Each structure stands twice: as structure tokens, then as C-alpha cells.
Amino acid sequence: MPVAARLHRTMDGGIPPDRLDFRVDRLLMPDLVAVLAAGAPALVLLAFRHDIVFAWGGAAWGIVTAALVAAAAFAGFRLFDRRPLLIAGAHGIAVPRLIADWIPWRDIADITGAVEPLAWGDRRDVLRIGFEQPRTVPWLQPPKGPVDTGGLQAGFGVRLSARWPLRAESLCRHIEMSRRAALPSTPATLASATDPWQRPSRNLRVGAAIMCALIVTFGWQAIDGGLAKQTSAGVRLYMTGDLVAALPALESDARRGDAEAQVTLATMYENGDGVGRNQAAALSWFRRAALAGHPGAEVELGLIHQNGRGVPVDMAAAEQWFTRAAERGAAPAQYRLAQLYRDGLIDGRRDYDRALLWLTRAAEQDHAAAATDLARLYTEGLGVPRSMTTALRWLNRAAGRGHAPASYRLGRLYGQGQGVDRDAARAAAYHAEAAEQGYAPAQYALGLAYNGGVGVTQDPLAAYVWLALAQKGLPPHQAPRAARVLALVAAGLDVESQNRARRAVREFRPRRANP
């Protein structure tokens, strides 16, 4: 009996010895090749994950890796299929991969070999077995082609592998030898609940392959990419101010797919912190982090397109990036998106309805600037009924967060008696709160109050200090007005008082707002 044909006399499989002559095992080589074909690229993707993520992006790496791991797992499961291709026993023929029952010798009319041509020019041998009388075949896996599995069959064929070393004619001779030694007893059913030839269903194997793909892909991503953004050593070094050591660590973490490291690295390139300023590199890293779902990066990309930093101004792209982050609940993005709609920067038309929607969502998350702008809509009745009560509620909420513009606007309302009783002292107090944070309009208003003694005790020295600070901080079209008032105040001060005032201006440091 040829060794190459892998014909084995066997006692296994739960079949009594007197019923078995030989069996033909299936070839494992095609499955091994399939495992290697899918498994080798998957190992490369896992080994060089951070470099491939840098080149392709995280989503592409995950999809390709998961597909290859699933294919390798599914092919690997086939290696554990112990069912032989064919068994010729004392009582008949069994084909465990196709037919559930043994076919007794008495029901077999003839056994012949044939050659089936294949598309790529090779050939495959087919063992054809004909029945004495047409019968119903209990298929485990019906052969390909138009087969009526519910009717009678005149016979069936067993396809050998295209690379099978044993030809069908030679196999026919071995089967005839077993047939001549056949015993006249009735064969048992091949398939049973405890038969070791049984294997999991196809759906179960597909499900197991998918689970392997998900576990391997996400597990390796967690190991190689880090579990949380706080684990980035580069970010920690950057926060401590060690920019020289932070740069290589950030580049390594960013290439592994850490979105927080990507944003930090982009910020360094944009501001020139420890590296040469490179707007193109900053844009690239912001985009990678944004595509990974980092809200801060999405907001930065929106600002880049809105302000034309290194790219042409594109309000539609700015709206797109702001919307992505806003829909996930990022208050800064909601505020920026509302500004676009309020000022009509997208299509030239103001959309107060959508501006109100996004300002409200941001303000409800204690975004102070959004609350201040929302109060303005209610104060002026832009897109909503005018309501000073609602405006004051939002302004007080923003001022309580230490927002200088909100404190300044409250001071103006109390100073003018708009929606509230006029209260000059309270107005001066709100202006002082904003002025100490370096807000130039409030500094100008407080300087006027000290110069005229409105709500506070008249103090020309304090008036000089606040007016001088306001002159430096106001925009060019407003600074001359502060300069004229400052000149009048300085004229009433002696030289020593002016020197003290100038020293106070030089030593002024804005007070940080409450968190």
C-alpha cells in the first residue's frame, strides 16, 4: 500500500476492527498554507502596529488586522477536523465529510475514477460511486452543483485534492480489494452524538474566528498603544516643562496612536515649543488625533480652517469639525459652532436659532463664554424674546466662574440701570473684578469711575493706573480715547505720584480667574 497515498489500517474512530480495512486521510497542506497566508501578514501588522498606524491610520490597521486574524483562525480550526476523506471497510464505504451513513457493498454497483479539469490548467481526480438502485443520500455536506438532496440519487462523487498524490484509478484498486474481503453484515450509522469525526458547525467556527480577531486586535492595541491617555510619558514631561525630553517620548507615543500625545505634539509644532514652528506637521498630527475622535483636536482643526492657519480659509470644513466634537458634547466646540451661526460666517446669513441651541448646550455645561454670549441674545432679543431676567441669570452664572467679560457686562447693566436698579457701587465692584483679571474694557470703565468718584471714592492715582493699563490692552480704535482721559488725569498729578502710578502699572499682574 503506497505510503504517499496516506492509506492507513486503523483501529480508531469508534469503528469495530472487523469493519475497517483502510482509510484515506485528507491533506493538511492546503489548510497550513491558508494559515500561513493569513497569519504571517497578521503577525507583521501586530509587530509593527505603531508604524502602520502612523502610515495608514488606526481604523485601517484595526480592520485589516482583524480580517487577517479571523481568516487565520478559521483556517486553523480546519486543521483540527479529524474526519478522513474516505473509509473502505469490511461492510462498505464511508465518506465522513459528505454522507452521514455507511454505504453497504451490496448497494454499490460500480466504482470508477475520472479526471476533472480545473480553471488554472491543473486537474483533480474524482472517485465516482454508483448505486445498484437509486436511493436517498443523507448528505452532511451536499456536493457543489445542482443536487436534489430530497430525491433519489443514482450515485455520488468524491473529489480528491488537486495536489493529491494518489490517482483515482489506483484508489479504485484498493477499494476493490476491500470489497472482495467484505463481510455480509449490516453497517451501523456513521454519524452520532459521540462520534469523534463530528466538528463544530460552520456558524460556530465563524463566530469563534470573529471573537479571536476582536480579542487579538483590541488586546494588542491596548498593550501596544496604552490604555489611557494619562499613561503617555511624553505628555507628563511636557506638562513639567521638560520639552527636550518630551519631544522623542511624544513622537513615540503619537506614532503608537495615543491621541493625547498627538495633540500635544501638534501644539508644540504649532507654537514652536522646543521645536521649529511647523504648521504642516501640526495640522497632520491634529488631523490624526481628530480622526481618532479627540474633541480637542477637532476643535483645533475647526479653528485652523476658520482662521486659515497654514490652509485656505474654509468655513464649511470648520463647521464640519466643530460639529463632530459638538455632537459628542464638547462645550468648546458647541460654543465655536454657535459663533459661526450667530455671525453668519458659513453662508453669510445669521442663524440665531441654531446659535441659541448650541450656546444653550455649552452654557449648561458651565462654559462661561457661551453663557455670556447667550445672555447677550436675551438682552438684545436676537432670535429669542427679550428677557433681562434670563440674561442676568446667565451672566451671574458666568461671572461666578470668574469670566471677566461677564463681570464687565454685569457692571454695565448696573451702571446704566438696564433691567436692574441703577447701582454705581455694584457696577464699580463688577468692573474691578474684571479689571483685576486684565480685561481692558473693564479697566477703562474702572479708571473713569475712580476719576469721577462714581461708585467709589475719587482717586486720581488709581484712575491713572487703570487708564494706563486699559490704553495698552484696548484695540487700536479705542486706545486713543483712553489716552486722552489719561493725559487729563496725569496733568493733575505731581511728579512723585506719576512715578508711583507708573511703577504700579509696571508691576501689575492679572489675577487668574477662579476655576
Burial (CB count <10 Å: 0-12, 13-18, 19+), residue 304? buried
E strands in 414-466: none
Among 167-176, 292-301, 401-410, 435-444, the least confident range: 167-176
Q: What is the pLDDT of residues 235-259, one digit of tens each?
A: 888 888 888 888 888 888 888 778 8
Which pLDDT value is given to residue 340?
94
Angle between helices 404-416 and 388-400 (to 10 degrees): 140
**Segment 82-105 mean pLDDT:** 80
pLDDT at 499 over 90: yes
User: Considering just the CA atoms, what is the radius of gyration of the chain in Å?
Assistant: 41
- Torsions phi, psi for 262 (to 5 deg): -65, -45
From the CB of residue 399, how many other CB atoms can be counted at a distance below 10 Å?
25
Cell of 225: 498603544
Which pLDDT value is given to residue 31?
73
pLDDT at 394 over 90: yes
**Distance between CA atoms of 69 and 41, rounded to whole angstroms?**
9
Q: Position 432: which residue type?
A: A
Residue with the bigger pLDDT between 136 and 388: it is 388
**Distance between CA atoms of 41 and 49, rounded to whole angstroms?**
12
CA distances for 168 relative to 28, 103, 132, 294, angstroms: 19, 19, 21, 63
**Distance between CA atoms of 290 and 286, rounded to whole angstroms?**
6
Q: What is the pLDDT of residues 321-365, one digit of tens each?
A: 999 999 989 999 999 999 999 999 988 889 999 999 999 999 999
Angle between helices 440-452 and 404-416 (to 10 degrees): 40
**Segment 47-70 mean pLDDT:** 77
**Distance between CA atoms of 136 and 146, rounded to whole angstroms?**
15
Q: How far is CA 400 from its chain centroid?
A: 36
**Distance between CA atoms of 28 and 83, rounded to whole angstroms?**
12
Contact criterion met (CB below 8 Å) for 451 and 460 = yes
**Segment 122-147 mean pLDDT:** 75
Contact criterion met (CB below 8 Å) for 283 and 310 = yes
Contact criterion met (CB below 8 Å) for 259 and 287 = no
**Distance between CA atoms of 104 and 100, rounded to whole angstroms?**
13
pLDDT at 504 over 80: yes
Which pLDDT value is given to residue 56?
74
Q: What is the pLDDT of residues 110-132, one digit of tens each?
A: 888 888 777 766 777 888 888 88
Phi-psi category of 121—alpha, beta or left, where left has phi over 0 and alpha has psi -120 to 50? left
Which pLDDT value is given to residue 138?
80
Burial (CB count <10 Å: 0-12, 13-18, 19+), residue 167? middle
Name the band, by pLDDT with cuts 50, 70 and 90, for residue 383.
Answer: confident
Mean pLDDT of the chain: 82
**Distance between CA atoms of 42 and 69, rounded to whole angstroms?**
6
**Distance between CA atoms of 383 and 394, rounded to whole angstroms?**
16
- Residue 128, beta-bridge partner list: 112, 157
**Distance between CA atoms of 499 and 76, rounded to whole angstroms?**
86
Which pLDDT value is given to residue 13?
39
**Distance between CA atoms of 389 and 396, rounded to whole angstroms?**
11
Contact criterion met (CB below 8 Å) for 386 and 400 = no
Contact criterion met (CB below 8 Å) for 256 and 222 = no
Helix/strand/coil for 25: coil
Residue with cell string 505603531: 50
Residue with cell string 452543483: 145
**Segment 67-72 mean pLDDT:** 86
Name the band, by pLDDT with cuts 50, 70 and 90, for residue 147.
Answer: very low
**Segment 75-86 mean pLDDT:** 76
pLDDT at 185 over 90: no
**Distance between CA atoms of 466 and 343, rounded to whole angstroms?**
32
